Amino acid sequence: MGNIHKITMSRHLPMAGKFLPAILFSICIAFPLLSQETVTETEDFFDSDIPFMEEEEGLTITASPETSQQMKIVAKEDIERVHAPDLAALLQNVAGLGVTRYGPYGNETDINMRGFDAGRIAFLIDGIPVNSATTGSLEISALDLNAVERIEVIYGGSDSKYNVTGALGGVINIITVKKQKPGLGAAFSIANTSAMPGEYTERSGGAGGPEYNDLFDTQSASVSLGFGGEEFSARGNIFANRAQNHFLFKDFNEKIRRRDNNEVYDAGASTSLIWDLPDAAQFIVSGDVYYGDKNIPTSGFSSYVGKQTDFSTRQNLMLDMPQAAGEDLGSEASLSHDWKIWTYELTPPASRHDQHTITAINRWNWFFGERLTLRSGGDYRYSYLDSTDMGRRDRHDAGLYLTAEFRLFESLLIIPSIKGVTDSSAIVPVPKFGLVWYAADSLTFKNNYFRSFKFPNFESLYWPGESYAEGNPDLRPEDGWGADFTAAYRFKEWAALETTLFTQQIDDSIQWASGAGGIWRPQNVGKAVFYGWDSKLRFDIPAPEPVPKIGVSFSYQYLISYLLSYGYSYSSDKRIPYMPVHILGVSLDISWETGCLFVSGRYESPRYADTANLNEIETPFLLDIILNQKIGGNLTVFANLRNALNRSYQSHVDYYMPGATLTVGIKAAYDSL
């Protein structure tokens, strides 16, 4: 979303903060051991058949396939069966991440990991950081899920897999590049989303509705073409959406209202070209373009609406050399350019922001026998902003890192890492120490201690003094420490458990707060601390034909946060806004030869909308039901019933969300045309 809208809404949402140094040791659940044989490669305990690196099929990032952090891989199959409208909905359904929305498709959306908002999560596309230097976040509407091959979700602060800066809550790496199968392939999909029509109370107080055109509220379409040859591969994707975003909701007086003035029209395209070079090397060219025309309503049932337009384009060149000098040395180099223009107008004149970002990355791997691997590299980013509100601003930031992966024993991996980061004013060391112990085929332990560090974004630094908000050029970077401990256990082929205890502290948390004259201003106000427990349990139950198995999953996150700012202490017992203490998820996955049924339920405990913890938001139990069925060899029909119980709720205070919506569509895929 645009700067004006984001800043305006930030008045209600002070940013989550930083955390205390912590060393976390815990008493682990005792697990029976099925085998004493050691394991020599990392598994994702919920998608163990999906490799971390698809060396024979596509992109190879030279980062380690092993990581001491908790990690979840969202595979292509997960993306295709869920039919999520955007990245946030997908990660909420499949990975259990927290999401805060200001409305349905195309509206401001915040993804949360371990208590950190999207501005404190490092987003990558094909290993390249893409967080905006202006807002700190990612515009998720610009991402076409049909072009995504897989998503790596890496939980926890710092990062020794891709060694990027600003990963306080974790890393989300979105892989879009993959070598195509031999021949020519094509795919297309089209879908319609219906909202439930009914009678409602108009702003004038009169009776309105039912509006049966809400049955055709949102349409989406996408087309993909791919070509695979012996030495060359190419793919292109195009998508478009028309979202009226009209739906019924209950306001604070229990009156039925109808949301309007929230229409979104957007479209985008992406492409990737891959040339095979000698010694398994690849030269990759990729890029995308996006345009969105959006009406953004203010809070509640107000008739005021702002016009927002978004334009973005990204170009990336990558040279991937897994055998740069024989089998003992691998390298990867990339150069990317990102250009974004967004404007927002509630009242004239319009606010326009033009941002360019150039990123260069070089990563190296040295393999010293079977016991030691050294990983090093550097990154450089130049960000330039030309804004009607903030003027012309730029920044250089860079980093160098060295990571060692030492296998002390066949079953014990030690990963010390250090990265030095700078924005040309100072050099800051960001260390991390990780352990991976493969206790048995069925049992793995992971442990991490790390420092987390993030530079302030341009909005926080330079927003001009106005009637409601003002930036602070004296802000210090956010800085803190944390630790986590993970135990993952697999019982044969039909049960898996992964549980993680974590803690994190930030000492220079940047938070927006209302000061003199009601002006909102960011400050390094002090500490914020999180202690949490994240556990996932999955059963794959054999079933009679035609259903080969039934998957049942449970997830639970406990997150106790302490806001230690504004004079608060531990005894004040104040929670970070919009971070629930309890998140409970459950899902049922029934697959058969020609289709699948996926049912997902989620409950979040009440959240606070302010730092004083006076305004509480109730979130009901939300249920989604998704059905996929193949027709013949090429066609698949699907139906997605979201919020199936038709519950009325707010995700962000005064921004209402739709009740039950039904998406139906068809997808066709053809290979070797």
Backbone φ and ψ for 383, nearest 5 degrees, come out as -120, 130
Q: How confident is the model at residue 209 (pLDDT cuts 50, 70, 90)?
A: confident
Which structure tokens are listed for 613?
């913890």
Query: Distance between CA 320 and CA 282 in Å, rounded?
Result: 5
Which structure tokens are listed for 346?
């509630």
Average pLDDT over residues 139-159: 90
Closest to 223 (Cα-Cα) out of 233, 213, 238, 208: 238
Which structure tokens are listed for 650?
């707010």
Residue 28 has pLDDT above 60, yes or no: no
Q: How confident is the model at residue 424 (pLDDT cuts 50, 70, 90)?
A: confident
Domain containing 653 equals 3-670
Average pLDDT over residues 496-524: 85
Query: Distance between CA 469 and CA 471 in Å, rounded?
Result: 7
**Per-state percent for the chain, helix, strand, coil, to nearest 5:** 5, 55, 40
Closest to 489 (Cα-Cα) out of 39, 169, 26: 39
CA 263 distance to own-chain centroid: 24
CA distances 278 to 283, 321, 330, Å, are 11, 9, 13
For residue range 630-648, list pLDDT tens digits in order. 998 899 999 999 999 999 9
Predicted pLDDT of residue 46: 37
Average pLDDT over residues 556-578: 89
Residue 503 has pLDDT above 60, yes or no: yes
Span of 145-149, 232-236, 526-530 with lowest mean pLDDT: 526-530
- As a residue count, the chain comes to 673
First to last CA, the chain: 40
Are 489 and 443 a contacting pair, CB within 8 Å? yes
Predicted pLDDT of residue 567: 82
Which structure tokens are listed for 257?
């209202």
Q: How confident is the model at residue 63 (pLDDT cuts 50, 70, 90)?
A: low
Residue 5 has pLDDT above 60, yes or no: no
CA 596 distance to own-chain centroid: 25
Helix/strand/coil (H, E, C) string of 243-295? ECCCEEEECCCCCEEEECCCCEEEEEEEEEEEEECCCCCEEEEEEEEEEEEEE
* More confidently predicted of 40 and 413: 413
Contacts of 410 (CB under 8 A, 6+ apart): 38, 40
Query: Distance between CA 36 and CA 38 in Å, rounded?
Result: 6
Which structure tokens are listed for 197?
């029509």
Q: How confident is the model at residue 65 (pLDDT cuts 50, 70, 90)?
A: low
Predicted pLDDT of residue 196: 92
CA dihedral (73, 76, 82, 87) positive or negative: positive
Predicted pLDDT of residue 45: 40
Predicted pLDDT of residue 292: 96
Q: What is the CATH number of the domain that holds 391?
A: 2.40.170.20
Predicted pLDDT of residue 35: 31
Say how many domains are in the chain. 1
For residue range 430-481, list pLDDT tens digits in order. 999 999 999 998 999 999 999 999 999 999 999 987 667 889 999 999 999 9
Per-residue DSSP letter, 359 = E
Query: Distance between CA 245 and CA 479 in Å, rounded?
Result: 39
CA distances 137 to 51, 389, 428, Å, are 29, 19, 22
Which structure tokens are listed for 593?
């030869």
Exposure class string for 555-586: b at 16+ Cβ within 10 A, else e: bbbbbbbbbbbeebeeeeebbbbbbbeebbbb
Predicted pLDDT of residue 75: 92
For residue range 226-264, list pLDDT tens digits in order. 999 989 999 999 999 999 999 999 988 889 999 999 999
Predicted pLDDT of residue 32: 30
Predicted pLDDT of residue 48: 36
Average pLDDT over residues 94-113: 91
Query: Distance between CA 455 and CA 136 in Å, rounded?
Result: 9
Q: How confident is the model at residue 544 (pLDDT cuts 50, 70, 90)?
A: confident
Closest to 123 (Cα-Cα) out of 85, 78, 171: 171
Predicted pLDDT of residue 598: 95
Q: How many CB atoms lie within 10 A of CB 36?
A: 10
Are 636 and 628 a contacting pair, CB within 8 Å? yes
Average pLDDT over residues 123-134: 93
Query: Identity (one letter) of the amino acid at 206?
Result: G
Backbone φ and ψ for 173, nearest 5 degrees, come out as -105, 120
